[in-house]
Structure 1
Amino acid sequence: MAPGGAPLKKGPKQVFKVDSPFTAATWPQITSKDHDIILDMLCNLLVLLGRHRQTHVVPSKGKKRKRAPSPGSSVPLPPVPTLSTHITIGLNSTTRHLESLAALSTPHSIQPDHDAPKPRPPIDAAATAAPTPAHISLLILPHPSPPSSLPHAHFPLLTHLASLAHPSLPATRVVLLSSAAETRLASSLHLPRVGALGIMEGAPGANMLVQYVRDQLGVVEVPWLREGMLNDGVGSGWLGTRILTEGGGDWKRDEVDSNEGKGKRKKKG
């Protein structure tokens, strides 16, 4: 209570949060005009795949007993558009493709120790060598703020590392569309949802779209990757803890008086 009898007003309490000391990744910003143009070009590119799926792919009706097809009832389906082999649809397939590219550019120092002798059977490396995965030119995410979304938070680092697998090609461009754009993408592909979409280098019919995005959008910057690792792959050392303060007024910690059982506010320190 104040000397005059009026109660004291309590100011807002400060909130302290622990954050990473490294610089956060920056995402390219897109204007509303470019957003609409890219979305229209993207839907026009994917509509052929959607028509093929709508016409020739029977939607699943759940788990049922498979019946043997009657003789003579099988009709040869028309070939799938060639674009289907040059795109990745969905969070899982897109992430797996980027991971396979990132594995090729991972520094040796942060890979598992291969110096330890491990018994391995003789294998013909030339016969078993897998081809290098195709470069992802565009990564389409129908989410305006991927860092705040757990399913999309891994894409900045993964996209940056995947681009290093093909240093002779332009880095992967990340296009952040609005959440409402997912409805149009899913309708064009005749799918219930589209969480992510990857367009590979040289995809048929995508040259104009890829070139337009490269002219309008920059690349994803991941400064903390350079800050955390030196050229030789050794850690840059301890950078300390970063504290974020939210709220106003002088912060005072609460301590409990054992005699009165009530909280008293005392200045910290």
Structure 2
Amino acid sequence: MERRKKTVYQLDTPYSAVSWPSVALEDQETILELLCNLLVPLGQYRSEYVELSKGKRDKKRKRKATTAQSESIAPPPAPELKSYVDVGIVTVTRHLQELASQAQAKITSSDDKSTTQDAAHRSYSAIFVDRSELPNVLNGHLPQAVAIASKAHPEQIPIRLVGFSKSCGERLSESLGIPRVSCIGIRQGAPDSKALVEFTTKHVPIIEIQWMEEAKKAEYKATSINTIETFVGTKKQHSHGLPGQQ
């Protein structure tokens, strides 16, 4: 019996999707090594001077006993690098949104110019993501967000986005002294980051966002309609006998 064909239509956007930059595996390994070496001082400081929380009851019990000791022996300040490193997909995404929104207003006063030199207001040099640890639904927005944030500041070097294809969460966690790490943003001017930034800039391509350039032309774009030829499924044969009869 010849199977009947049918045509199925699917609607799609007329603009192309923004994909992750392609980075060679050997370059990923080098970038990961440079990144971990940069973050090690933060992990060492955390292991030596930051006491892990054991719950509210434990805090209350030790509060009085440690008050006098903490006043007499204060830990040294955290490494300067700490203010240049953002950890977590939410934190990185929020700062990318802030960078994009800054394009709405030009900074003209001398006071504002001095403010932008603070680490908290700096753009990212690069963002590093362990793609094996997060589903695409959680990090799929990053290529577009990075491209838009970079376009908002054309006077600066475009942000590089590195997606590690092999699992590296444990190495990043060990370097930072944090139980779970899947996304890290390094801000411009981070101490001792020159080697990492230069290698990343050289070996990771800039994200191109084609639909943004097309949208600027203000030209009508028709909805893309994909036509797919498929076969009609065969109907199941139903028995007209009484229940239990074969």
Q: What is the aligned-residue identity percentage?
A: 30
Shift of 1:190: 1.1
Q: Which structure is richer in relative contact order (CA contacts within 8 A, separation 6 or more)?
A: 2
Q: TM-score, normalised by structure 2?
A: 0.78
- Equivalent residue runs for 1:1-269 within 5 Å: 2=1, 17-64=10-57, 66-67=60-61, 68-70=63-65, 71-74=67-70, 75-105=73-103, 131-132=115-116, 133-143=121-131, 149-230=136-217, 235-243=218-226, 245=228, 250-253=229-232
1:43–1:145 Cα change, 3 Å: closer
RMSD after superposition: 3.4
Unaligned runs of 5+ in 1: 3-7, 108-124, 263-269
1:184–1:14 Cα change, 3 Å: farther
Shift of 1:178: 2.6
Which region of structure 1 is more displaced relative to structure 2, 196-205 or 19-28? 19-28
Asked whether the 8 Å contact 2:160–2:205 carries over to 1, the reply is: yes
1:24–1:242 Cα change, 3 Å: farther
Shift of 1:40: 0.6
Which region of structure 1 is more displaced relative to structure 2, 179-188 or 35-44? 179-188
Which region of structure 1 is more displaced relative to structure 2, 93-102 or 128-137? 128-137
- Is the helix fraction higher in 1 or 2? 2
Aligned residues: 226
Take 1:52 and 1:82, find their aligned partners in 2: how far apart are those partners?
11
Q: TM-score, normalised by structure 1?
A: 0.72
Unaligned runs of 5+ in 2: 240-246
Q: Secondary structure at the match of 2:18?
A: coil
Take 1:56 and 1:101, find their aligned partners in 2: how far apart are those partners?
33
